[in-house]
Amino acid sequence: MNRIATGPAQAAQGKMESLGLVYGLVGVLVFSLTLPASRVAVGSFGAIVVGPGRALVAAIFAGAVLWLRREPWPKRKYLPGLAVISVGAIFGFPLLTAWAMTRVPASHGAVELALLPLATAGVSALRHGERPSWLFWLCSAGGALTVIVYTWFTGIGSIHLADLALLGAVVVVAFAYAEGGLMAGHLGGWQVIAWTLVLSAPIVVVLLAVDFAFAGTAHIMHASGTAWAALLYLGVGSQFLGFVAWYTGMALGGVAKVSQMQYLQPFFTILFSWLLLGEQLTAPTVAAALFVVVWVAAGKRATVRRHVVK
């Protein structure tokens, strides 16, 4: 019979969850710049380079870290999980969001991605045995509903053809987040994304070669310094360092609970879009963000039973 942890064990678990939320917040801050940076870079480089192509930048950085630390190759049993992460985080999400950023503002994309915490918690519950309480789901639904209502009444949430791409990005990366959060407990937070990047690099090279064969490289040679800086950020920041913090946080605090921090990401993204791209920032955005913070704080206190993998 399972018993609820008390005393020192409960305090230790609470500290791990709190530390996991801190790491999760760092990851969210890094990810919040992904859409604005993609919008800056995609006009110069195209969706293939900005999407999967940025993983090659990250793979060079990650490979160097793995080599310097003499990390052993992951065991064969971990390869299916790494493949799931690769499909979602290396190819699906970057390509779909980069394509969408050629058609809608970054602030609009931020609204669609607000569904990620709920999607990640749902995938985790189905695949990995986490069992959130009804209060947790209520807080998740409340956070998502707050974002949807805010979007509708501010006019950001009008329907675009890119919406399907963004919703598809939410689905595929939710699987990657849930899988990575589980595997981080075995391989370590940074090792999970590092090995995913390195093992995916050959496929990325093939995609880039095909893209260059059809589109040429003239547009790349004439890219501005700002576009190059955005691409570098996407590679090193969004595709590597952000995932290190994110997967470490989920390994410590649980996939479902730490995923709630991502309800803050749309508002950080809108803020960065205002600062960097001149997109609109309004008082309702600040008010909605405060409501979301309340839901996240309530979700932190909700019970999430975690399946312990031995």
* Helical pair 34-45 and 225-232, crossing angle rounded to 10 deg: 130
CA 192 to the chain's CA centroid: 14
Q: Which of 77, 80, 163 minimizes the C-alpha distance to 115?
A: 163
State how far the Cα of 4 lies from the Cα of 12, in Å rounded to an integer.
13
Helix 265-277 with 7-32: angle, nearest 10 deg:
30
**Model pLDDT for residues 101-138, shown as the tens digit of each residue:** 888 888 778 877 877 877 877 787 777 666 767 777 78
Residue 155 has pLDDT above 90, yes or no: no
Closest CA to 106 of 32, 169, 165: 32
Work out the burial of residue 159: count CB atoms within 10 Å of its CB; fewer than 13 is exposed, 13-18 middle, 19 or more buried: exposed
Dig out the tokens for 108 from the structure: 């609009």
Q: How confident is the model at residue 300 (pLDDT cuts 50, 70, 90)?
A: low
On average, the pLDDT of the chain sits at 81
pLDDT at 304: 57
305 torsion bin: left (phi>0), alpha (psi -120 to 50), beta (else): beta
* Rounded Cα gap, residues 228 and 2, in angstroms: 53
User: Per-residue confidence at 190, pLDDT binned at 50, 70, 90?
Assistant: confident
Structure confidence at residue 3 (pLDDT): 47
The whole-angstrom separation of Cα 259 and Cα 281 is 25
Query: Across the chain, where does the E strand assignment appear?
Result: 131-132, 304-305
Please report, for residues 23, 222, 252, 260, 283, the alpha-carbon distance to residue 20 in angstroms, rounded to integers and kept in the order given.
Answer: 5, 42, 5, 11, 31
Question: Residues with Cβ < 8 Å from 110, sequence gap 6 or more?
Answer: 35, 265, 266, 267, 269, 270, 273
pLDDT of residue 6: 57
| Pairwise pLDDT comparison (221 vs 308), residue with the higher score | 221
Across the range 208-222, mean pLDDT stands at: 82
Distance from C-alpha of 160 to C-alpha of 178, rounded to nearest angstrom: 28
Q: Residue 229's pLDDT is what?
A: 93
Residue 294 has pLDDT above 60, yes or no: yes
Nearest Cα to Cα of residue 89 among 118, 66, 120, 114: 120
Band the pLDDT of 156: cuts 50, 70, 90: low
The H or E element spanning position 194 is helix 189-215
**Do 62 and 197 form a contact (C-beta atoms < 8 A)?**
yes
For residue 83, the model assigns a pLDDT of 93
pLDDT of residue 86: 93
| Residue 35: closest CA among 214, 277, 307, 199 | 277
Above 60 in pLDDT, residue 309? no
pLDDT score recorded for residue 178: 83
Does the pLDDT of residue 211 top 80, yes or no? yes
User: Distance between CA atoms of 22 and 204, rounded to whole angstroms?
Assistant: 32
Mean pLDDT of all residues in 47-55: 89
What percentage of the chain carries pLDDT values higher than 70?
A: 87
DSSP symbols for 242-264: HHHHHHHHHHHH-HHHHHGGGGG
C-alpha radius of gyration, the chain, whole number? 19
Say which residue the tokens 């913070």 belong to. Answer: 293
Q: pLDDT digit string (tens) for 226-241? A: 999 999 999 999 888 8
pLDDT digits (tens, 9 = 90+) for 57-107: 899 989 998 999 888 888 888 899 899 999 998 999 989 998 988 888 887
What pairs with residue 304 in β-bridges? 132
Q: What percent of the chain has pLDDT over 90?
A: 19
**Cα–Cα distance measured from residue 123 to residue 118, given in angstroms and rounded to the nearest whole number:** 9
HSE-CB at 292 with a 13 A cutoff on CA atoms is 27
pTM of the entire structure? 0.78
Residue 131, φ and ψ in degrees, nearest 5: -130, 85
